[in-house]
């Protein structure tokens, strides 16, 4: 998505170019590839990340893998699908996108001509996510009744999604309309998506902000500095239980205690209609070395035992509203349609 003078991904001339998010904000390095394996690695390493963007990137990866393939098409599709599905387990957008690609592949009669229809589908997924960002921003704007201070967690902007993002798109729209006074961005340990990526996007969009470590959010709330909290999500169960970047659950509990509204903003592609509650969400556990080092510099004994879930699940009753491209849904949630 092109915005200001940076973009998360761009597809042109049969190549995907993406911004390596592990190097932000100090370096803006773009990688151009037509190799699905390179894209799979980028997703694993969080060079490409954020639930909707993972799905979009995987869709382009599948299409690109058919650019030059001449035989064994079905076997090839299954292998590429499996590889991409193995990259990260929690964001359901990945599986949503892969399954859309599979449906298209299965509908093609001459598999030697799969590239173009697969590419068309990848663009359709991308375009839909851009549409969702705009609608989420419009719908989310309705929760603002006065000029507010907003706290957010992780990164939910154009680096994480199509368009301007999810929670970030709501914040940007509300700021543009004069309804955001200040943004408090959680640092988001251990990979610092808030400190590195959200501050990068807030700066690029000229939105006033302060950054704090995750544990400092409670003090901000106690001091009356936070009017509302909005985050994204990686997978939402049918009852509204929502998995998002670890630390989100802490915020929801804090909001509940301080009587501050806690909202989630996500496209409906983040709703997993196969699961009833959050207990069925597979949580990714990442290598503990990510806690013991920062940007490749060791900060503690590498042999220390760690506990490193990448996501947590916020129970539905703690979520005041789930802002989607369709509407804002309120507790008790029931996404069965």
Rounded alpha-carbon distances, angstroms, from residue 314 to 81, 196, 246, 318: 30, 24, 10, 7
Q: Indicate the residue among 105 and 329 with the shorter CB distance to ligand MRU.
A: 329
* Residue 176, phi then psi, degrees to nearest 5: -60, -30
Q: Is 140 one of the binding residues for ligand MRU (CB under 6 A)?
A: no
Rounded alpha-carbon distances, angstroms, from residue 53 to 97, 120, 154, 288, 319: 10, 17, 14, 25, 24
Q: Report in angstroms how near the CB of residue 168 gets to ligand MRU at its nearest.
A: 7
Q: Indicate the residue among 90 and 114 with the shorter CB distance to ligand MRU.
A: 90
Q: Which of 186, 214, 234, 241 is catalytic?
A: 234
Q: Indicate the residue among 114 and 193 with the shorter CB distance to ligand MRU.
A: 193
Q: Is 228 one of the binding residues for ligand MRU (CB under 6 A)?
A: no
Helix (H, G, I), strand (E, B), or coil: what is residue 86? coil
Q: Report in angstroms how near the CB of residue 104 gets to ligand MRU at its nearest.
A: 24
**31 neighbors 17 (Cβ within 8 angstroms):** yes
Query: What x/- string results for residues 85 through 114 when contact with ligand MRU is judged by CB under 6 A?
Result: ------x-----------------------
Residues 250-309 that bind ligand MRU (CB under 6 A): none
Q: Report in angstroms how near the CB of residue 166 gets to ligand MRU at its nearest.
A: 4
Residue nearest to ligand MRU (CB): 232
Alpha carbons 95 and 84: distance in angstroms, whole number: 9
H helices, E strands: number in the chain: 10, 17
The CA-to-CA distance between both ends of the chain, in Å, stands at 30
Size of the site for ligand MRU (CB under 6 A): 20
Q: Report in angstroms how near the CB of residue 46 gets to ligand MRU at its nearest.
A: 6
Contact range with ligand MRU by CB under 6 A, out of 71-79, 210-218, 219-227, 232-240: 232-240
Q: Is 324 one of the binding residues for ligand MRU (CB under 6 A)?
A: no
Q: Indicate the residue among 8 and 239 with the shorter CB distance to ligand MRU.
A: 8
Alpha carbons 235 and 46: distance in angstroms, whole number: 17
Strand 9-12 with 15-19, pairing: antiparallel
Rounded alpha-carbon distances, angstroms, from residue 270 to 22, 88, 238: 24, 14, 11
Sequence-distant (≥ 6) Cβ neighbours of residue 305 within 8 angstroms: 288
Q: Is 176 a catalytic residue?
A: no
Q: Is 156 one of the binding residues for ligand MRU (CB under 6 A)?
A: yes
Alpha carbons 79 and 216: distance in angstroms, whole number: 45
Residue whose entry in the numeric block shows the structure tokens 């950054």 = 211
Q: Report in angstroms how near the CB of residue 313 gets to ligand MRU at its nearest.
A: 12
Strand 148-152 with 311-314, pairing: unpaired
Q: Report in angstroms how near the CB of residue 109 gets to ligand MRU at its nearest.
A: 36
Q: Is 58 one of the binding residues for ligand MRU (CB under 6 A)?
A: no
Query: What x/- string results for residues 169 through 208 when contact with ligand MRU is judged by CB under 6 A?
Result: ------------------------x---------------
Catalytic residue numbers? 234
Q: Which residues bind ligand MRU (CB under 6 A)?
A: 46, 49-52, 91, 154, 156, 160-161, 165-166, 193, 231-234, 244-245, 310
């Amino acid at each position: 998505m092109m915005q200001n003078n940076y973009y998360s991904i761009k597809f042109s001339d049969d190549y995907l170019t993406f911004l390596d998010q592990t190097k932000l904000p100090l370096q803006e390095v773009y990688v151009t590839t037509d190799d699905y394996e390179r894209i799979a690695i980028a997703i694993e390493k969080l060079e490409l990340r954020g639930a909707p963007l993972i799905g979009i990137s995987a869709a382009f990866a599948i299409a690109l893998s058919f650019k030059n393939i001449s035989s064994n098409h079905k076997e090839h599709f299954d292998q590429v699908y499996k590889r991409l599905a193995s990259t990260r387990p929690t964001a359901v957008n990945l599986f949503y996108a892969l399954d859309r690609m599979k449906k298209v592949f299965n509908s093609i009669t001459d598999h030697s001509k799969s590239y173009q229809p697969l590419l068309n589908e990848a663009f359709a997924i991308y375009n839909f996510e851009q549409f969702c960002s705009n609608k989420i921003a419009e719908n989310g704007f309705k929760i603002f009744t006065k000029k507010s201070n907003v706290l957010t967690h992780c990164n939910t902007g154009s680096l994480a999604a199509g368009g301007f993002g999810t929670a970030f798109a709501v914040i940007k729209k509300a700021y543009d309309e004069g309804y955001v006074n200040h943004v408090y961005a959680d640092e988001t340990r251990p990979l610092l998506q808030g400190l590195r990526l959200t501050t990068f996007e807030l700066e690029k969009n000229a939105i006033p902000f302060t950054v704090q470590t995750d544990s400092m959010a409670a003090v901000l709330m106690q001091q009356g500095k936070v009017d509302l909290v909005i985050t994204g999500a990686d997978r939402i169960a049918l009852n509204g239980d929502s998995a998002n970047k670890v630390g989100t659950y802490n915020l929801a509990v804090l909001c509940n205690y301080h009587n501050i509204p806690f909202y989630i903003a996500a496209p409906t592609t983040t709703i997993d209609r196969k699961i009833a509650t959050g207990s069925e969400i597979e949580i990714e556990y990442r290598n503990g070395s990510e806690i013991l080092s920062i940007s490749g510099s060791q900060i503690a004994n590498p042999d220390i035992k760690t506990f490193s879930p990448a996501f947590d699940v916020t129970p539905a009753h703690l979520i005041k509203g789930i802002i989607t491209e369709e509407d804002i849904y309120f507790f008790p949630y029931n996404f069965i349609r």
